Structure 1
């Protein structure tokens, strides 16, 4: 049970994050149900206690490739595929400014952070924001929201003790 490790405020912040990053109410409900059904064993409880950042990892695990992207720092192909999938779920399109963003030469000549900046610019023109969060690991993770979510994300970041930035400024 999450309440054994985290405060009510932290759990509510994670739930609010799920609602903000989910492209549809149905997906939000599905992810919220999965989040609420998470069971922690004794080792998890000991490891996670007093570390609200762990809630962000749980959200990532529940929503990966549906509402959240998570890729290795050098996996440009997975980044392109996951961001395109997240954008499509919001009726948006990300082309990265080329005809074939999965072209091997294109992928080899760009880093994930460069691609994130391109995707952010395209999504911004469509009324969306690509966000990334500091995982403190050799990977990139983030999500897409509407611009109106910015203030809520700032508050959530403080409660979960994580950092979010727009995709124009990759970590």
Structure 2
């Protein structure tokens, strides 16, 4: 709750640095795998393109980690949460997909609201209080990025995060 409050306060972005996205996502995937195994699923990290983001590493980590852990909570046992990325000259796009029940179309616009839960009966089974995606949204917006969620046609849920690419001298 404190993290969300700080992000909503309108403060400037804390100390920034060049963040190597493949390394950051690999760390998050490795850490999340422990939780995934306890829920009888896994985290799949697709081959990552070489890309850098300028931002606050801890806020970016928090955003991506909240999205991945949300996927772990809802994906079906025996499946995986998949993290993939693509980039062009201007932006990087990270997609996190799960094999869970998805969200009713009428509720999709609410998933980034603080304390929002699709179904309160799921709260007991999956844990959490509905802050993870709200924190992720605010952290991404502080980095001049965009975050969107949607259901997959074949079933499951997807969160797509777009962030400006950093200009890195090679």
Structure with the largest fraction of strand? 2
Tell me the TM-score normalized by structure 1: 0.27
Question: TM-score, normalising length from structure 2?
Answer: 0.27
